[in-house]
Amino acid sequence: MPAAVCLCVLCGLPASGKSSLVQVASAQIGKQGWGTFIISYDQLIAEEAFAFSPADSLSKGVRPQTRWKQHRQAVLTCLESFLQDPQAPSPCQTEGNVWERFSQAISPALRKSSSQPPRIAVLLDDNFYYQSMRYEVYQLARKYSTGFCQVYLHCPVEVCLSRNQDRGQPVPDEVIVEMSKRIEPPNAQKNHWEQSSLTLTSTDITDTDIQNLFQLMFSALENPLSPFQDDFEQRLADRERCASSVVHQADQACRRLVSHAMLTARESKASSEVLRVLAKDLSEQKGHFLQELRRHVLHEMPLSEGEPVDVERVVSRALAAFQQQRDDVLERHGISTGARTA
């Protein structure tokens, strides 16, 4: 009978204590008779993968972080090979030496027991600061019907900066500060796939926390995810909700832009007739714009199943286009857009 597998994603800022937590958790889980594999991205991805030369981008068309992303994808490829056959994963072609590093990381655990343990916990140790990074692991869990859970290690940025100075290879402080602004902790209310998540405070990890972590993994393992099914109607409903949210926020912002345009026209001493026609034109322009925006979200914008849309970003980009359309309308009526800025 194949072993039951649980993929546990640990995320948090650099120097937040993830690696220390992984070691403690792995030891405690091992005492329960589980097999444990630690997949440390720092150890699997070679340092040169993070290097980027501006000259390379000009001569070869290489975008920043491309190599790093390719290596991250290579780790997922290795993980998938393991999920296909945990006892004897097949070698795979990857960027750099990722497969060699991966096989070396898991081989001690494979040699430790002649028989496969009934339960295996795979602990993925990385920053995973974007939810999209964690979602890729979730997709593998669904594909291979494994358990899936997440642990977010919260740590104040100033503590991370202090700890970072004691590391053998400290991360640049600006990287930690910038990541602290961008990190997206698990949000079960926003993302249904992040239901099995636990937040721990790294400055005060207790035995109870470790026990809660074990219970989280045990629950995830006992309730493995189901492979993707045809949920076409659900995805349509999700798109409709997303489109409604985008259009609602865009409508509120567009109203402010239109009001601002009318104020600009009045300050420019436009006649009452010009104001009347301008109001009509801007209203029609706004209606047409919102219709096109809804159509774009519903039918053209690429959405991954289960992955939420950054509504604020979509609205922000759309408003830039509407503002240009609004200014074009003002100019057609002979009203300078330089009188005010919005």
Range of the domain at 112: 4-222
Q: At what angle do helices 232-267 and 311-332 cross, to 10 degrees?
A: 40
Sheet holding 119-125, edge to edge: 35-40, 119-125, 4-11, 147-154, 197-201
Residue 120: inside a domain: yes
172 with 318, same domain: the answer is no
131 with 75, same domain: the answer is yes
32 with 174, same domain: the answer is yes
As a dihedral over the C-alpha atoms of residue 30, residue 91, residue 71, residue 310, rounded to 10 degrees, the angle is -70
CA pair distance 147, 155, nearest whole angstrom: 26
250 with 132, same domain: the answer is no
259 with 127, same domain: the answer is no
66 with 161, same domain: the answer is yes
133 with 44, same domain: the answer is yes
The answer, as to whether pTM is greater than 0.85, is no
Residue 338: inside a domain: no
Mark which of 180, 203, 222 sits at the end of a domain: 222
217 with 240, same domain: the answer is no
CA pair distance 118, 129, nearest whole angstrom: 31
Residue 295: inside a domain: yes
Residue 134: inside a domain: yes
> pLDDT tens per residue, the chain (342 residues)?
567 899 999 999 999 999 999 999 999 888 888 888 899 888 887 655 444 443 333 333 334 455 667 878 888 989 999 898 877 788 887 766 788 888 887 776 655 555 566 888 999 999 999 888 899 999 999 999 999 999 999 999 999 999 999 887 888 899 999 999 989 999 988 888 899 999 999 888 899 999 999 999 999 999 999 886 555 556 667 778 888 888 999 999 999 999 999 999 999 888 999 999 999 999 999 999 998 888 888 776 655 555 556 778 888 888 999 999 999 999 898 887 764 445
- Amino acid occupying residue 70: Q
302 with 176, same domain: the answer is no
CA pair distance 295, 276, nearest whole angstrom: 29
202 with 78, same domain: the answer is yes
CA pair distance 87, 102, nearest whole angstrom: 14
Q: What are phi and psi of 168, to 5 degrees?
A: -60, -40
259 with 312, same domain: the answer is yes
Give the count of domains, the chain.
2
